[in-house]
């Protein structure tokens, strides 16, 4: 009996020593990967000195944050790191959902009562945010998070019935033609002055044994980010009309843009098998020098440069027939807070940091994206290339949403059928006629 007691005493002392050592040493950042999902626990840097935020809002609480694509992993990690320097007693884990079934995965967790504390959505750019609001899934942050940094235009993407249900970002999500400067130089090419000159470069590049444009025909969003600059270059008048009046979605000027893309596909300007290439594959092919250009979202700069740090990267806006340079730009959405979060104080504290000038500067610089405020200045020359434009146009996708009839959801149909146009499963005119039947 005495021997058992002595062993128990030794074990108790050992446990106490382990606890003390762990408390003094803090917790290092750890990262684990599981099935395409990355989860990171932010470090606990508490020590002998008291942090200015110790015992503040959310102290001792933990958060789980969901993002939808690897492009946003670095900015999110940088943001969490900076936040934990001020709030070391709030534990944060993030998960990157790389699947194109992001919203299905999110719906499953909502139904199971396991909604992440904060999560990304497209904001009002899709119907998901409104659906979550009507279901009571998302917290109204109108009087809880300071959004004074953002313009009214930026806040439109998170506003429903005059209330805010997420933080926007100051990022201006645009589209641009990324190009390989070395390939252009080797072939004696320069930034095209008009649309005809752009088209004249394509056979020259192909004849040199290089894919003119790396393109994902399997991802509806990648198709959109390619289609919109083509539409802006070929039919800027249609987009200009959309600013002041309802326009016909199935207008011949819209059909022409899709027809042009199919013409380029038939000519081999996207290479072979582009219909089966996902967005990540298209970006990688361009980064590796297999293609001379890639028309994509501006937020992909970081991914391209990480794929190949040695790439001599440049960017320009696809010009119109008369040489003007349109820029398709949209506001972007950050994170919403779950209405049922068990850590509301910590979630609000984090979102306030995200919405601050400090948080947004971290976000924008890590993304290498275009800042929509003069308070944040980019240090990336490619960003400066992208910013060389003559006028800004609306997103075709946004126009669809603004003109949709009550009870209709043309953007959902667009998501489901957009890639069928590129695979020739549906004619452009038929596709646009369907969308037009659901809009004013």
Question: Which domains occur in the chain, in start order?
Answer: 28-171+332-371 (3.40.190.10), 173-329+379-436 (3.40.190.10)
Average pLDDT (184-198) is 98
Average pLDDT (196-222) is 97
Nearest CA-CA partner of 301 in 195, 378, 235, 359: 378
The pTM of this model reads 0.68
398 vs 137, which has greater pLDDT?
137
Predicted confidence (pLDDT) per residue in 66-94, tens digit: 999 888 999 999 999 999 999 999 999 99
Predicted confidence (pLDDT) per residue in 132-159, tens digit: 999 999 999 999 999 999 988 899 999 9
The pLDDT value given to residue 347: 98
Whether 8 shows a pLDDT value over 60: the answer reads: no
Q: Does the CA dihedral 119-125-131-134 come out positive or negative?
A: positive
Return all residues near 221 (Cβ < 8 A) that are at least 6 apart: 279, 297
CA–CA dist 194, 365 (Å, integer): 31
Predicted confidence (pLDDT) per residue in 13-64, tens digit: 333 333 333 333 333 333 333 334 445 444 444 333 333 445 789 999 999 9
Calculate the average pLDDT of the chain.
88
Determine contact, residues 50/67, Cβ cutoff 8 Å.
Answer: no
The pLDDT value given to residue 44: 43
**Pairing between β-strand 168-180 and β-strand 326-333 as defined by DSSP bridges:** antiparallel
The pLDDT value given to residue 384: 87
Return all residues near 291 (Cβ < 8 A) that are at least 6 apart: 180, 210, 211, 212, 213, 214, 271, 285
- Give Cα 346 distance to the centre of its chain: 24
**SS3 track for the chain:** CHHHHHHHHHHHHHHHHHHHHHHHHCECCEEEEECCEEEEECCECCCCCCCCCCCCCCCCCEEEEEECCHHHHHHHHHHHHHHHHHCCCCEEEEEECCCCCHHHHHHHHHHCCCCCCEEECCHHHCCHHHHHHHCCCECCCCCCCCCCCCCHHHHHHHEECCEECCCEEEEEEEEEEEEEHHHHHHCCCCCCCCHHHHHHHHHHHHHCCCEEECCCCCCHHHHHHHHHHHHHHHCHHHHHHHCCCCCCCCCHHHHHHHHHHHHHHHCCCCCCCHHHCCHHHHHHHHHCCCEEEEEEEHHHHHHHHHHCCCCCEEEECCCCCCCCCEEEEEEEECEEEECCCCCHHHHHHHHHHHCCHHHHHHHHHHHCCEECCCCCCCCCHHHHHHCCCCEEECCHHHHHHHCECCCCCHHHHHHHHHHHHHCCCCCHHHHHHHHHCCEC
The pLDDT value given to residue 56: 82
Predicted confidence (pLDDT) per residue in 288-324, tens digit: 999 999 999 998 998 999 999 999 999 999 999 999 9
CA–CA dist 194, 319 (Å, integer): 5
CA–CA dist 46, 86 (Å, integer): 11
Whether 410 shows a pLDDT value over 60: the answer reads: yes
CA–CA dist 170, 334 (Å, integer): 10
Q: Does the CA dihedral 65-132-219-399 come out positive or negative?
A: negative
Predicted confidence (pLDDT) per residue in 351-395, tens digit: 999 999 999 999 998 988 888 888 888 888 999 899 889 988 989
Predicted confidence (pLDDT) per residue in 248-294, tens digit: 999 999 999 999 999 999 999 999 999 999 999 999 999 999 999 99
Return all residues near 319 (Cβ < 8 A) that are at least 6 apart: 192, 193, 194, 195, 197, 198, 233, 325
Among 124-128, 184-188, 194-198, 434-438, which stretch is predicted with the lowest mean pLDDT?
Answer: 124-128
CA–CA dist 398, 406 (Å, integer): 16
Whether 193 shows a pLDDT value over 50: the answer reads: yes
Q: 211's torsion region: left (phi>0), alpha (psi -120 to 50) or beta? A: beta
CA–CA dist 205, 214 (Å, integer): 12
Determine contact, residues 184/190, Cβ cutoff 8 Å.
Answer: yes
Return all residues near 333 (Cβ < 8 A) that are at least 6 apart: 120, 121, 122, 123, 125, 129, 157, 158, 166, 167, 168, 169
Q: Which residue has the tokens 């967790």?
A: 109
């Amino acid at each position: 009996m005495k021997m058992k007691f002595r062993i128990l005493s030794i074990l108790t002392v050992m446990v106490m020593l382990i606890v003390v050592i762990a408390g003094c040493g803090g917790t290092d950042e750890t990262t684990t990967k599981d099935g395409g999902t990355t989860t990171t626990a932010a470090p606990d840097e508490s020590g002998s000195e008291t942090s200015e935020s110790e015992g503040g809002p959310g102290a001792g609480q933990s958060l789980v944050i969901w993002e939808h694509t690897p492009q946003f992993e670095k900015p999110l990690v940088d943001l969490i790191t900076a936040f934990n320097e001020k709030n070391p007693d709030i534990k944060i884990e993030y998960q990157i959902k790389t699947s194109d079934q992001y919203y299905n995965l999110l719906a499953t967790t909502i139904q199971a009562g396991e909604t992440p504390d904060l999560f990304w959505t497209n904001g009002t750019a899709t119907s998901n945010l409104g659906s979550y609001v009507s279901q009571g899934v998302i917290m109204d942050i109108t009087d809880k998070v300071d959004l004074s940094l953002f313009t009214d235009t930026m806040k439109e993407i998170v506003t429903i019935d005059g209330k805010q249900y997420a933080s926007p970002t100051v990022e201006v999500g645009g589209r641009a033609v990324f190009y390989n400067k070395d390939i252009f130089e080797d072939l004696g090419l320069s930034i095209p002055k008009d649309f005809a000159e752009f088209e004249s470069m394509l056979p020259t590049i192909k004849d040199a044994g290089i894919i003119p444009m790396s393109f994902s025909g399997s991802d509806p969003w990648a198709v959109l980010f390619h289609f919109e600059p083509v539409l802006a270059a070929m039919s800027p008048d249609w987009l200009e009309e959309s600013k002041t009046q309802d326009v016909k979605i199935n207008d011949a000027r819209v059909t022409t843009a899709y027809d042009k893309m199919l013409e380029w596909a038939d000519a081999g300007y996207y290479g072979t098998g582009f219909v089966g290439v996902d967005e990540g594959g298209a970006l990688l092919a361009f980064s590796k020098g297999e293609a001379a250009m890639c028309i994509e979202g501006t937020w992909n700069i970081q991914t391209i440069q990480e794929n190949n740090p040695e790439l001599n990267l440049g960017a320009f806006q696809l010009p119109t027939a008369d040489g003007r340079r349109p820029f398709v730009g949209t506001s972007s959405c950050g994170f919403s807070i779950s209405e049922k979060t068990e850590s509301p104080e910590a979630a609000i504290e984090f979102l306030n940091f995200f919405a601050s000038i400090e948080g947004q500067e971290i976000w924008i610089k890590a993304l290498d994206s275009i800042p929509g405020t003069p308070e944040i200045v980019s240090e990336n020359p490619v960003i400066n290339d992208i910013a060389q434009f003559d006028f800004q146009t609306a997103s075709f996708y946004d126009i669809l949403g603004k003109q949709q009839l009550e009870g209709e959801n043309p953007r959902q149909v667009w998501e489901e059928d957009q890639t069928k146009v590129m695979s020739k499963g549906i004619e452009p005119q038929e596709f646009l006629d369907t969308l037009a039947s659901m809009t004013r």
